[in-house]
Structure 1
Amino acid sequence: TSPLARTVETARILASPHGLEPIPEAYLKEIDYGRWEGLRRSEVERDFKAEYAIWQEDPFTIAPKGGESGLNTLNRILPGVRRIVETHRHRSVLVVSHKGANRLLISSLLGFDMRSYRDRLDQSPAALNILDFMSEVRPRLRLFNDVSHYEGIPARVLGQRLSKWWSPQEHVPPVPAAAARS
């Protein structure tokens, strides 16, 4: 698990029924957003407008001031995940990490265009992804962004997406007047 408190807590909840204790690994931490850490997206957009606009165009190679780019994050994560795969060959392993880190990792492993990892892969909080590794470098995506365990949780509690591109409020087609009256 990432050593951040929220992921350690999640990992403990999931490992407890199996009598296991999570192993914190620094390489599984979320992207370091530097001086943006702890701020809401709206605050970053307001307070760092020009920097955010540049980063939004290419978050893979551009980093917020004091933070890391997607490329730097991936360079931190990939060797550790490879060690996990090598060490636990033919076994199931639960890795608890973060939205951005997960999308970067999966994009890289599946050979996607890394510059668009934020807009092409949606990752909900506490979602389940399953990768089967045929070898250390050949995974097969078996399940992605499964949130079936959210059943019964109101949408307003789940929050909005981080990427403006996919924010439901911005891309919901208008309801035809006749449908709105029925």
Structure 2
Amino acid sequence: MPTRIYLVRHGATDLTADDRFAGSSDVPLSDTGRRQVASLAERLRGEDLDAIYASPLQRTVETARILGVPHGLEPIAEPGLREIDYGHWEGLRRSEVESAFRDEYAIWQEDPFVIAPAGGESGVNVLNRALPLVRRIVERHRHRTVVVVSHKGTNRLLIGSLLGFDMRGYRDRLDQSPAALSILDFMSEVRPRLCLFNDVSHYQGHDFATGV
């Protein structure tokens, strides 16, 4: 029996809806985000969960708490799951970054895995803290099912690395919608099988599925 990881991105925030770089910015879920996560909690209600881990930022902890209520589980905060820090781009709209930091943004776009905005993190930095943590979680909960709540960038980096992708293209080739569910089955700490990716069927078609 594999160790199953339900990898979840937090629900929508006001910054998500505004297309802003919100990596290390500590913001709560929006009302839309809470409804998205509540739908996912209902979807997972019947699952036998061993633990819930979350990035310590508000939006991920809040997501994890909503998911944990039906199971009587409190989230375990893990700093290694934090989102990539965008340095001096934090809080800015993508269009504002493209305009104000044109050259820096162009270089970063070419290889966001290695290049970092001034004062921020590269994808390599994020994987150096997130990947060993996921392997420890798999080892700790062998043959059980665990929820891991993290962020758009961190989730994409984890999935891309675990599946052996060319990491220079992780932003272009992988997506993570708000409150999306991906499932990874680990036969060992380093051999996962991707069973589900970026699924939002728990809220797709609802009146709160847009504006994220």
Fold conserved between structures, TM > 0.5: yes
Higher Cα radius of gyration: 1
Structure 1 runs not aligned, ≥5 long: 159-182
- Determine the structure 1 residue equivalent to 2:85: 32
Structure 2 residue aligned with 1:146, among 174, 199, 212? Answer: 199
Q: Which residue does 1:79 correspond to in 2?
A: 132
Q: CA deviation at 1:150?
A: 2.1
Q: Distance in 2 between matches of 1:154 and 1:22?
A: 25
Structure 2 unmatched runs, 5+ = 1-53
- Measured at CA, do residues 12 and 155 of structure 1 come closer, stay the same or move farther in structure 2, by a change above 3 Å? closer
Equivalent in 99, 117, 121 of residue 64 of structure 1: 117
1:155: how far off? 5.7
State the AA in 2 paired with 1:153: D
**Percent identity of equivalent pairs:** 78
The alignment of Structure 1 onto Structure 2 pairs a total of residues equal to 158
Aligned amino acid, residue 135 of structure 1: S
Relative CO higher for 1 or 2, CA cutoff 8 Å, sep ≥ 6? Answer: 2
In terms of fraction of residues, the more helix-rich structure is 1
Q: For 2:117 and 2:126, locate their aligned partners in 1 and report how far apart those are by CA, in whole Å.
A: 13
Post-superposition offset of 1:75:
0.8
The runs of at least 4 consecutive aligned structure 1 residues that moved more than 2 Å come to: 153-156
Over aligned residues, Cα RMSD in angstroms?
1.0
Match of 1:49 in 2: 102
TM-score by length of 1: 0.84
SS of corresponding position for 2:76:
coil
TM-score after normalising by structure 2: 0.72
Q: Deviations over 1:38-57 (max 9, x none)?
A: 11111111211111111011
